[in-house]
Chains A and B, each alone.
Chain A
């Protein structure tokens, strides 16, 4: 158990809908990362937050947005969903957000868009 929790575990929705994925980091970690893993693909970095502020942005679509709240939990919002958005979405956390910090990953949310 990494200490990172993600809810829900599974999500099935239809095209055009909007969903919110939630992540609670390990106790004491200030930084949260979001990744997308599509079928047979590596982990695609989406976005990183540190102590409530956006720190780095990767290949995140404009239809997607995220935020980190004062209690350090984070939400990833996916809107106008398309079939191609079906993937595993991982959240990770680290203590200070440096790239040499170990990232601890949650178990992921499997999103299926029908």
Chain B
């Protein structure tokens, strides 16, 4: 049972354009959402998060949007840079249940 789904295994974007990575979840108990970035041969690193009481959180070039009614969140990267090429994991937490569920990841390629 995949509670957190990232339906696009990969995404290719031109440098300078917007990258949009999507994530869907099924469990309405999730109340905190995170994005992690992972380079090869390294562990994931935290990128940005959002609480369910918000619908948008911005940090520099990265913005996360949350649509609770659709159980959907997205990560926007503007402008995309070649160094953004990595695997991006969406994660959702049920803070009452002490669990974080990760999606399978989306591999982003930013072409120079």
User: What is A's interface to B at a CB cutoff of 8 Å?
Assistant: 2, 4, 35, 40-45, 48, 55-56, 58, 90, 92, 98-100, 102-108
In the complex, residue of chain B having the shortest beta-carbon distance to the beta carbon of A90? B43
Q: Is the CB of A108 within 8 A of B43?
A: yes
Q: Is the CB of A42 within 8 A of B89?
A: yes
- Contacts of B43-94 to chain A: CB distance below 8 A: 43-46, 49, 51, 89, 91, 93-94
A37 CB to nearest B CB, Å: 9
User: What is B's interface to A at a CB cutoff of 8 Å?
Assistant: 4, 6, 9, 32, 36, 41-46, 49, 51, 89, 91, 93-95, 97-105
In the complex, residue of chain B having the shortest beta-carbon distance to the beta carbon of A105? B43
Q: Is the CB of B42 within 8 A of A43?
A: no
- B46 partner, pick from A4, A90, A102, beta carbons under 8 A: A102
Residues of A near B95 (CB, < 8 A) are: 98-100
Residues of B near A98 (CB, < 8 A) are: 95
Q: Is the CB of B32 within 8 A of A55?
A: no
A40 to B89, CA, bound (A): 12
Chain A facing B: main interface SS:
loop
B51 CB to nearest A CB, Å: 8
Tell which of A40, A58, A99 has the most Cβ of chain B within 10 Å: A99
A111 to B1, CA, bound (A): 25
B26 CB to nearest A CB, Å: 14
Q: Is the CB of A56 within 8 A of B46?
A: no
A46 to B63, CA, bound (A): 29
In the complex, residue of chain A having the shortest beta-carbon distance to the beta carbon of B92? A99
A66 CB to nearest B CB, Å: 15
